[in-house]
Chains A and B, each alone.
Chain A
């Protein structure tokens, strides 16, 4: 049975008249890498601040590790919210030593290991204020993972990283998830990156969670599959139905959409030709997370404009 690490139930948050979060519910199972997707101001950071109690929760309920969100439960959480925070005049090592004392960690080897893990070995004696933005992100991550949390909350961790830094960061997150079994809640507006690391996605729009989807479901929804253009769609449909057993949709009198990228396209082509069907083209159509997001938000905006 899957273990629920985080359960967010019907939470809302207002700042004056502005409703930043509106009745949001979702949960994270052990091992999830849950990507929160939304534009700036959609409410991603507010949700993370509510989970970590940096923002007081007045409406709804948040459960961490199956208990009501309290300070004790937070001991098992590591978080980097908004910007990574460290004491500027303390070195990388001193900042981590500070966290070790704070969390009651006595093993000094662990600090060395974590510094190596996040790739800051060469900066161990550098003051935090002298680190680059990417290095500060790594220090923030090191601070968050030093206590070996069960849940890691990362708010826009890729911001400010250069391309190689992004690739390394991605590897780091996967390593944390796979080797240390850390469940991760991550937000970013760099959707390609989020797609690479996440196993589930939650789409936030105007403070509401408008869609939740697993990576598999997303892939399925995004895979337009093979678009087949033929001279005789009804005959082609019969062949596909009999020989391939794949789901398909007849788009118009020339095109058929096969909902699978796994189909052997050369075999399909051969079968169709052998049955006297002329294949004009066979194209693979695959959409990205960005396309999915754009369509989702576009659909909502359209619906809203029709309502108004």
Chain B
């Protein structure tokens, strides 16, 4: 499986799309922090209250603004899904991969890990860009450096994990439908649909499946500690079930 991870990283490093995604992450973060803008979708009033746009932003405020705006990253990162697993199917190179001796389980897990690591690294770059932009504008840290860096690391990890749950589900959709387009549309629709249904139907249990809002809320400290593990447990369970189902589907699929 290690070889498969290395293979995917080699391939991605030779793909223009990954550099465009990197540029987007850097540019988006720099604009948010530099222009004191909060963008994105699914930004709730609760989370917005974390930020006072009238005062002079510190580096910490820049990180908070980037966190609030990070909902848009899931769409920018669709490219990672397409490049990591979509290309294998559109160019039928999965035939070479699966005949290389890798098991179906290793195939699914390695694809998931490649996406997770890529999202994590790109999220780190996104938040570090915010820090660098703030520093270039001579802003104060707003907290201790160690706390700021710990926040960046934790937020990147949380965002990467919750986005990866959506991408994990998209792998299952891709395998079930054999369509990268449907898989990609699922990534676009899933967070919006869950948030919308959650708001309209008032089904409180749906909050556990509102993965991206959860990521933001955890990052901004809006979820009480006693509930934190409920959210993480549900996501882990969804991820585990998704991976198991994906393996079952791919084992029984005509490739």
Contacts and interface: CB of A to CB of B under 8 A. Distances in A.
Interface of A: 49, 52-56, 71-72, 74-75, 77-79, 81-83, 85-90, 94, 97-99, 101-104, 143, 147
A49 B255 CA distance: 8
A186 B176 CA distance: 31
B93 A87 contact: yes
Given A55-B255, A56-B251, A102-B4, A87 B100 contact: no
Interface in B50-79: none
B91 A79 contact: no
A87 B95 contact: no
6 tightest Cβ-Cβ pairs between the two chains A and B: A75-B101, A54-B255, A85-B92, A102-B7, A101-B7, A85-B93
Interface in B1-54: 3-4, 6-7, 10-11, 14-16
Nearest to A54: B255
Contacts of A99: 96, 100
A143 B95 CA distance: 11
A90 B96 CA distance: 15
B103 interface: yes
Nearest to A78: B99
Contacts of B94: 85
B3 A102 contact: yes
A53 B254 CA distance: 9
A79 B251 contact: no
Contacts of A81: 95, 99
Interface string B223-255: 000000000000000000000000000011111
B98 interface: yes
B91 A86 contact: yes
Q: Which of B6, B15, B16, B100 has the most C-beta atoms of chain A within 10 angstroms of its own C-beta?
A: B100
B95 A79 contact: yes
A85 B91 contact: yes
28 contacts: A49-B255, A52-B99, A54-B95, A54-B254, A55-B254, A56-B253, A56-B254, A71-B102, A72-B101, A79-B95, A79-B99, A82-B92, A85-B94, A86-B96, A87-B87, A87-B93, A89-B14, A90-B11, A90-B14, A94-B14, A101-B3, A101-B6, A101-B7, A102-B3, A102-B100, A103-B3, A103-B100, A147-B100
B204 to A, nearest CB: 41
A99 B99 CA distance: 11
Contacts of B98: 52-54
Contacts of A79: 95, 99
A139 to B, nearest CB: 11
Nearest to A153: B99
Contacts of B254: 49, 54-56
B10 A98 contact: yes
Contact of A85 (B3, B15, B95): B95
B178 interface: no
B151 interface: no
Given A82-B95, A99-B96, A101-B10, 13 more contacts: A49-B254, A55-B255, A56-B254, A81-B95, A83-B92, A86-B96, A87-B11, A98-B11, A101-B3, A102-B4, A102-B100, A103-B3, A103-B100
Nearest to A15: B254
B100 A74 contact: yes
Contacts of A72: 101
B96 A85 contact: yes
B11 A104 contact: no
A97 B97 CA distance: 13
Nearest to B87: A87
Contacts of A97: 10
Nearest to B253: A56
Contacts of A52: 95, 98-99
Contacts of B101: 71-72, 74-75, 103
A54 B95 CA distance: 7
A175 B98 CA distance: 27
B91 A88 contact: yes
Interface in B97-111: 97-103
Nearest to B100: A102
A97 B253 CA distance: 28
A152 to B, nearest CB: 11
Contact of B96 (A56, A104, A143): A143
B207 to A, nearest CB: 39
Contacts of B16: 89
Q: Which of A54, A71, A86, A103 has the most C-beta atoms of chain B within 10 angstroms of its own C-beta?
A: A71
A82 B96 CA distance: 12
A94 B14 CA distance: 9
B99 A54 contact: yes
